Structures are given as structure tokens and as C-alpha cells.
A and B are shown apart, each in its own frame.
Chain A
Amino acid sequence: MKELWNRHISEGDLRAYADHELSEIQVKPLEAHLKTCPDCQHTLAAVSTRSSVVQGKFQTLPVSTPELTPTWAARARLENMIERKESTTVFNKIFSKRNRTAWAILGIVAIALSLLAFPGVRAIASSFLGLFRVEEVAIVQVNPGDLPQQLGSSAQLEMMFTEDVQVEEEGEAFEPASIEEAESAAGFDIRLPGEVDGEPELLVKPGTTVTFQVDVERLRGILREIGREDIEIPEGLDGEEVVFSASTAVAAQYGDCEFDPGAAREEGYDPDDVNTPYLPRCTSLIQMPSPTVEAKPGLDINKIGEAFLQVVGMTPEEAAQFSQSIDWTTTLVLPLPANEATYTKVEVDGVDATLITEPKGQRNSQYMLIWVKDGILYGLAGPGGMETALTIGNSLQ
């Protein structure tokens, strides 16, 4: 900027002047020139008018976000990002606030696990007790709208994952060269369906142990955050451990199982929109020895189950009724969104199985079939409906 305004003043300087952003040394000569220069007066008026028009537009934008997360909670989220991003970015995506559905599921799993740790009576024995082994599958229908929304943004829950849950994986997943190699890694006989076209691609996923150390204060905090302080947590379990173990699993995949973002997008898949999941033309069968949960004895498992059901939206009465109809020590209870899938009991592979299907009329509908036979948990999923599911499920050899 010139010290003396012997030429016309630039629009930028006039703008700064109008915004009171010039120093006193600059203002005096500018005003002196302005007094005598109609051109500059005109420019100033035009600049000021335009800026007030634009300012008016910006005033329609809200000044502050309606849901500002408290600084300390945001700081805890950031800590998680730092931890997670250093290992994997996928995990971080799960923790994204945008990803509320995934969050809610994680939340349910976490709460299911944590609820398993609450005994009705104080644990006295020091040895661990085999508590749970999957023999059956039961579905509880959940209305996503009834889930505590706060699960998706619970900072306490995030911290629990970071601090109290330890995941130990026995190794990296790998593609075995043969079925024999897969069997020797898995330690059980692998069965494959006859009624699927193509050769299977096998994937061996070594076992995982999840150790959850009970932090009673934190659990109370989570229940407080989701507005369920009515669910009681007994004293005396602080610091105790609950161990969830899944043995080696083997997946057999048939068809178009590689995720190809380009091809998916052409079919209308939008990676930013959780409501349009990409449904590959891939049939997969997962088999693994039944996972187990171990904790100290003395657990009133019915009460725990009922609490879990209440968290996913049942009334205490409904929860009590459901709880009495199943054996919690042998039943894997899967929450299923009521609007998005239906389920039915079928017979497959000579045993009772649970078939989950999407509502009729949906494009690319998928099924999922779950059953347990001889201590092995099977999960079959693919495109199609009940008929396809039963045909493939019954063809295991």
C-alpha cells in the first residue's frame, strides 16, 4: 500500500478499510484521498454493498454445530484414531461417527460381552468355568430405531475398547495350498458344498482370543451414556476377566468374491452411503469350532441375558419371556434388524438351522444360513433365497 494516496485506492485496501483492518497510519491518508475522489467513493460503496450481500448469505449458515462433542470426549476419540490409524485404517472407519450402524453392532457385542461378566452373586471360586458354547442359534429382532442412539457416540465405549479389551490373534489369515493344509491348520475336517459351481478359494483365519477386563465404573458410565442406569451392575467384579475364544475358522468362497470398487460403483454402489451395500455374487461358507466364553462361576446368566435383551430394545417382560425360552449357556443370540431381514427355522444338514433372508422384492437379495453340527458352527451366505440356501446347505460333503 502506498503511504500517500495520489492514485486511486485499490478495492482490497478499501475492503480492509471498511473492515477496520488498516492501521491508523494507513487510515488517515486514505480518508484524505477518499474525501476528494468520487471514483474511490463509488468503489467503496460497491465493495461494501457486495460484502454485505455476501455476509447476509453467510448469516443463514448456523454459527455452531448443534451436537458439539465435549472437548475431553473428542480428545478420547482422537486418541483412538491415533492408535487405530497406526495399525489399520479400516478399523478407524468403524469408529467413524458416520458409521452408526456398525457402531451399534459393535456396541451390542461389547455389551453382550460385558453383561456376561456380571454375576448375580459374588464370585468365590478362583478357577475359570467354561460358561458358554454355541449349540444353537436364536434370533432376537431388533428395531434399529429403538437401539440407544448414544451407543454410536459413546466415548466411554470407545475407551473401553481401547483400554479394557485385548484382542490376540494367533496369526495372519492365509490361503492354503490345499484342503489338507487347511485341515491341518484348523484341526477339524473341512466340509464343502457339492451344489455350487466353480472351485472354492479357501482362506484360513487363525483363532482369536478376546480378553475383556471388567471395569465396573466404565460400564456404569456406558449405561449412563445410553440412558440405561436402571440396569444394575453388581460390585465385586471389578478387574475380573471374561475370555472369548474363537478357534481357527476356514472360509470357502465361490464366485465373484473379490471386492471391485469400480465394478461395484457401476452397479449403483455408493461407498459413502451405508444404505446401499454392495452385494457381491459370492457364495461363502464359513466353518469353525464353536466359539466359547469363559468367566468365573457364579453368573446368573438369565439375568444377564435379559439385561442384554433390554439394551437391544425389549421391555423387561418381553426379555424375561424370551430368556426363559432359551438356554443361554448354549445359544448364540443374534440381534437382527426387524425391517431389513426376516428369519425362519429350517432343517439343514440333518439339524435345526436358522435362515435369515432379506424381505422379498429386493434387488440382489441375499440369504444367510447358520447351524451347528458336531461342535462346528457353519455359516453359509450368498445371493438367492431359501431354495438356494437349502440346496447348498444340504449338499455339504
Chain B
Amino acid sequence: MAVKINHMIKQRPVKTGDKAGVDIQTDVANAFEALFRNHWNRVCNIVYRLVGDPDEAEDLALEAFWRLYGRYRSGEIQENTGGWLYRVATNLGYNALRARKRRRAYEEEAAKELIVSNAGENTAAEVDSREEQERVRWVLGKIKPRSAQILLLKYSGFSYSEIASAVDVAPSSVGALLVRAEKEFEKKYRELEGRQP
């Protein structure tokens, strides 16, 4: 065990890029290590945008990599490994976001208290910004999972082809799916605003 981890940490494989799927048969371990190294930060950041809690985001990101590892080991790995990784990671994040909904009522209470108690320390802009983030996440939890994924990826700087590979559609459909997702988002957002005093 000791040897294994040290080996993985010290002898960083030199392969880069997302050719993991191709190299899998010749060097499974190296391919996985390269993928981990190249994508860890990005996966974490994306999931964090979705769930808003750094610890939870990290747990979920690790979960995604752990599942990917399982695929590597069972030889299930095919092309488009990177896309698969982001699909799983954003799915996990989305599920976590929705699982929180049932706790929403008291969370909102707690958030209100927090806002009141911190009123002296935080500027109005900071409070607004935090509320706005929660609204965006709430709406993301309400729209279709794939729509939420597409929006999240798009507004985290993913290209159409990257989005296409993550949600497993043809790149030429991404534009239409984006439009649909934005309509859903806007509709739910309006509903939320309408409900607020």
C-alpha cells in the first residue's frame, strides 16, 4: 500500500490531454492519473458553483472520480472519458442540490437569521449577492437535470463540443438545448420572484 501511493504521487505520469480512452489498454494507471491531475480543479469548481459548499463539493468531486476509477478498473472505459466525468460530477451535484430541498424551510430561516445577525458586518451588496446565489441554485434544482447541467457547463466556460460530450448529445443540438434550458430557467426564476414579497 505504501509503495502504491508513493508511486502514484511521486512518479507523476507525463501524459496529458484527454486521450485517456485511447491509452487505457497500454497504461490504465497513467491515463487515470493524468485525467485526475488535469481535471481535479475544474470538476471541484464546477460542483462548487452548483452546491455552494466547498467541503460538499470536494466530496462529490471525489465521488465522481471514484466512479470513474471503477470504470477504468472494470475495463468499461470507452471514449469520451472527460465528458462522462463531468456528467457524473454535475449529476451528483444536482442530486445533492435537490436532496437539500426538504431542509430548505429551516435553512431559509437560518439564512434569514444569519443575514440579520451579520447585518452590521456585511454590506448590503454582500447580502444581496448571497441571496442571489441561493436563488440561482434553487432554480437550478427546479429545472430539468440536463438543462441545469447544460447551463452550468456553458456558464462555466465550456465550449459546445465539451457540453455535447458531457451530456451525450450531438454538438449541433447544443444551441437548441441551451435555448430551451434558458427558457426553463427564466420561467422558474420569474415564478420565484413572483412568490417573494
Among the stretches B17-25, B35-43, B81-89, B111-119, the one at the interface with A is: B35-43
Q: A16-B160, A58-B151, A65-B58 are in contact. Are A47 and B65 (CB under 8 A)?
A: no
Are the C-beta atoms of A60 and B182 separated by less than 8 Å?
A: no
Are the C-beta atoms of A96 and B5 separated by less than 8 Å?
A: no
Are the C-beta atoms of B45 and A21 separated by less than 8 Å?
A: no
> How near does chain A come to B41, taking the closest CB pair, in angstroms?
6
- Residues 126-145 (chain B) with a chain A CB within 8 angstroms: 129, 132-133, 135-137, 139
Residues of chain A within 8 A of B182, CB atoms compared = 50-51, 54
Are the C-beta atoms of B189 and A76 separated by less than 8 Å?
A: no
Please measure, in the bound complex, the distance between the C-alpha atom of A100 and the C-alpha atom of B155, giving whole angstroms. 32
Are the C-beta atoms of A85 and B66 separated by less than 8 Å?
A: yes
Number of contacting residues on B, CB 8 A?
A: 56
The SS class assigned to the A binding surface is helix
Interface size class of A (residues with CB under 8 A): 35 or more
Please measure, in the bound complex, the distance between the C-alpha atom of A100 and the C-alpha atom of B56, giving whole angstroms. 12
Please measure, in the bound complex, the distance between the C-alpha atom of A83 and the C-alpha atom of B152, giving whole angstroms. 32
Are the C-beta atoms of B2 and A67 separated by less than 8 Å?
A: no
Tell which of A15, A96, A98 has the most Cβ of chain B within 10 Å: A15
Are the C-beta atoms of A60 and B136 separated by less than 8 Å?
A: yes
Residues of chain A within 8 A of B28, CB atoms compared = none
- Is the CB of A123 closer than 8 A to any CB of chain B? no
Are the C-beta atoms of A78 and B176 separated by less than 8 Å?
A: no
- Is the CB of B98 closer than 8 A to any CB of chain A? no
Are the C-beta atoms of A19 and B160 separated by less than 8 Å?
A: yes
The SS class assigned to the B binding surface is helix
Residues of chain A within 8 A of B62, CB atoms compared = 74, 77-78, 81
- Residues 63-86 (chain A) with a chain B CB within 8 angstroms: 63-69, 71-72, 74-79, 81-83, 85
- Residues 26-72 (chain B) with a chain A CB within 8 angstroms: 33, 36-37, 40-41, 44-45, 48-49, 52, 54-59, 61-63, 65-66, 69
- Is the CB of A87 closer than 8 A to any CB of chain B? no
- Is the CB of B159 closer than 8 A to any CB of chain A? yes
Residue of A47, A57, A65 touching B48 (CB-CB under 8 A): A65
Q: A21-B175, A162-B5, A163-B5 are in contact. Are A65 and B133 (CB under 8 A)?
A: no
Q: Which residue on chain B has the smallest CB distance to residue A97? A: B55
- Is the CB of B104 closer than 8 A to any CB of chain A? no
Residues of chain A within 8 A of B69, CB atoms compared = 78, 82
- Residues 13-69 (chain A) with a chain B CB within 8 angstroms: 13-17, 19, 21, 47, 50-51, 53-55, 57-69
- Is the CB of A10 closer than 8 A to any CB of chain B? yes
Interface flags for B2-22 (1: CB within 8 Å of A; 0: not) read 101100110000000000000
Are the C-beta atoms of A66 and B54 separated by less than 8 Å?
A: yes
Are the C-beta atoms of A15 and B178 separated by less than 8 Å?
A: yes
Interface flags for A232-248 (1: CB within 8 Å of B; 0: not) read 00000000000000000
Are the C-beta atoms of B175 and A57 separated by less than 8 Å?
A: no
Q: Which residue on chain A has the smallest CB distance to residue B6? A: A163
Are the C-beta atoms of B175 and A15 separated by less than 8 Å?
A: yes
Please measure, in the bound complex, the distance between the C-alpha atom of A270 and the C-alpha atom of B107, giving whole angstroms. 13
Residue of A11, A63, A81, A162 touching B176 (CB-CB under 8 A): A11
Are the C-beta atoms of A58 and B155 separated by less than 8 Å?
A: yes
- Is the CB of A272 closer than 8 A to any CB of chain B? yes
Are the C-beta atoms of B129 and A11 separated by less than 8 Å?
A: no
Please measure, in the bound complex, the distance between the C-alpha atom of A17 and the C-alpha atom of B2, giving whole angstroms. 53
What 20 new A-B contacts, CB under 8 Å, besides A53-B186, A61-B49?
Answer: A1-B172, A10-B176, A11-B179, A16-B160, A21-B174, A57-B132, A58-B151, A58-B155, A60-B132, A61-B133, A64-B48, A65-B57, A65-B58, A68-B44, A71-B36, A71-B40, A74-B61, A82-B69, A83-B1, A273-B103
Which 8 A-B residue pairings sit nearest by Cβ, starting from the closest? A12-B176, A16-B175, A12-B175, A58-B155, A65-B48, A15-B175, A67-B54, A60-B132
